[in-house]
Structure 1
Amino acid sequence: MLVGHIQEITRHPVKSFTGEQVQKTKVMDYGLYGDRSHAFKGKNGKFLTITQVPEMVRYQAAFSGEEALDQYPEIQVKTPSGNVLTWGEGAFQEEMERLLKQEAEPVVYHPAHIPLGAIEEENILLVSDASIGELTKLWGKELDGRRFRQNLIISLVNKTPFLEEQWFGKRILIGNEVELEIKRHCERCMIITVDPSDSHRDPSLLKTVVKERGNHFGVYASVMQTGEIRVGDQVFLKD
């Protein structure tokens, strides 16, 4: 059954940086190609994220070349001041020291394998356009979808808010190749309170999600069949 099409594809080359919207990408066993492939860990061995350093969200990371399975394309990072730096170069390291204000270890995972933890709790996070629209009404303010750090936005044929929550335990087919199994709710945390444009916190959004949605927004999915997806691909719910 046709349920919609892919409206947006977003991957985050650097964990907790703002990601990049792409027109097409490979879907790997772990999720979108290169998603959360680069990260920083603190002295305690845990990932440094927006939770500890909200300003991380003001840095935007993007791959600057074609996807390859032996090594990643170069990552370009746009800073809040508008400078564009390259992951690993001296100027980037200096910028990160100023940003993180602590001893931090840069981590890079192989293109063929990124562990859970770097990729949150499941392979892919998706939401629907109807759900974003309904939450905007519930919150009563303009909503920047980047707050939710989803990988896919599905434009639904049936514009029923939170329809994707009825797909738990079922599979969706994207285009002709990629198959995902919808697993469970995404339980939200303070990260959604951080505005990606200026890192300002507004706790009222999380309070709205807790009150109106039981602290759930978006659904997690596991990759069952790899392949390539494109914006505009049709999405089918399998029987």
Structure 2
Amino acid sequence: MTGDRGKQSSSAADDRVGRVTELWRYPVKSMLGQRHDTLAIEERGVVGDRLYAVRDGDGKFGSGKNTRRFRRIDGLFGFRARYEDGVPVITLPDGREVRGDDDGVHQHLQRALNRSDVSLSRERSVSHFDQAPLHVVTDASLAWLAAALPGTDIDARRLRPNLVVATGCAPGPVEDAWVGRTARIGAEVIVNFTHGTERCVMVNNAQDDLTQDHRVLKAIADANDLKLGVYATVLQSGSISLADPLHFL
């Protein structure tokens, strides 16, 4: 029996991929978000993540690209969003704050973006997510990107993940090998990694202390076919906290 337990423990250790080092939630799509120590996870993804979006007059949601659902709206990185008692609170580029339930929130957005057709919209039947509920990147991917672009400010904020996982692997897009696998994160959450994350121009954008750099997207395109990070669906809900282990099932 002792030998069997030893084999099981060794197998569990071998399957451990890493641990969670950052947790992010973005209450309003394409605005800056907020770091957390713990996040609740449901089938839709992080509870409250990208639950709101800036919608234009054609019903498209503000993003860094133009697609059937999304409209590129420049300037959204100048805004930051957080929750207060379940209501999004938006910090405008000039530092003022406006609550999502304020009657004047739409006018504040219109003035700040210099567009008369935008409003704050809560998700209904059309998803605000690009392709999947959860977005994960690793320290290995970030280290690879930093090495490819010496002198450029690289950290997870450029990639806007929900989770950053420290793997201890050599620099490289190690998440590519996770596609198709199932993992447990912490004690409760189970996810399935579905496909690599295709990047857009937003990785170049300035935000907070990160400078604008048009080389970032090109580096990812040249080295890894525009992909860095991995998307996942949620198979079992629960909570994830900093330092939680991630291991394959």
Is the pair's TM-score, using the shorter chain for normalization, greater than 0.5?
yes
Correspondences of 1:93-132 after superposition (within 5 Å): 93-100=106-113, 101-109=115-123, 115-116=126-127, 118-132=128-142
Separation in structure 2 between the aligned mates of residue 79 and residue 40 of structure 1, nearest angstrom = 13
Is contact 1:5-1:155 (8 Å) kept? Answer: yes
Alignment-derived partner of residue 224 in structure 2: 213
How big is the shift at 1:179? 0.5
- Contact persistence 1:125–1:220 (CA under 8 A): yes
Farther-moved stretch of structure 1 (214-223 vs 154-163): 154-163
8 Å contact kept, 1:57–1:199: no
Deviations 1:20-45 (A, max 9, x none): 11111111111101111011221222
For residue 76 of structure 2, what is the aligned residue in structure 1?
56
For the 8 Å contact 2:92–2:112, the answer to whether it is kept is no
Please report the TM-score for the alignment, with normalisation by the length of structure 2.
0.84
Q: Match of 2:32, as an amino acid? A: T
Aligned pair count reads 227
Cα distance, 1:86 vs structure 2: 1.4
Q: Which deviates further from its counterpart, 218-227 or 91-100?
A: 91-100
Please tell me whether the aligned partners of residues 128 and 161 of structure 1 are also in contact (alpha carbons under 8 angstroms): no
1:171 aligns with 2:171: no
Q: Where does structure 1 differ by over 6 angstroms across 4 or more consecutive aligned residues?
A: none
Matches within 5 A, 1:59-74: 59-65=79-85, 73-74=86-87
> What's 2:201 paired with?
190
Partner of 1:81: 94
Question: Where does residue 3 of structure 1 map in the other structure?
Answer: 17
Q: Is the 8 A contact 1:177 1:226 kept in 2?
A: yes
State the partner residue of 1:139. Answer: 149
| TM-score (norm. length: structure 1) | 0.87
Q: Are positions 1:180 and 2:187 aligned together? A: no
CA RMSD of aligned residues (A): 2.0
- Contact 1:54/1:199 (CA < 8 Å) preserved in 2? no
- Structure of larger gyration radius: 2
Change (3 A) 1:222 1:115: farther
Distance 1:152 1:54, change over 3 A: same
Note if 1:150 corresponds to 2:164: no
Q: Of the candidates 229, 234, 242, which is equivalent to residue 231 of structure 1?
A: 242
Q: Is the Cα–Cα contact under 8 Å of residues 58 and 198 in structure 1 kept in the other structure?
A: no
- What's the secondary structure of 1:48's corresponding residue? strand
Q: CA shift at 1:203, angstroms?
A: 2.0
Partner of 1:68: none
Structure 2 stretches of 5 or more lacking a match? 1-14, 66-71
Structure 1 residue 17 and structure 2 residue 31: aligned? yes
Match of 2:69 in 1: none
In structure 2, distance between residues paired with 1:199 and 1:39: 23
Q: Give the letter for the 2:228 counterpart.
A: F
Q: Which amino acid aligns with 1:57?
A: F
Give, in angstroms, the shift of residue 91 of structure 1: 4.9
Q: Return 5+ residue gaps in structure 1 as ranges.
A: 66-72
Deviations 1:25-68 (A, max 9, x none): 11111110111101122122211224432211121101124xxx
Give the letter aligned to residue 158 of structure 2: R
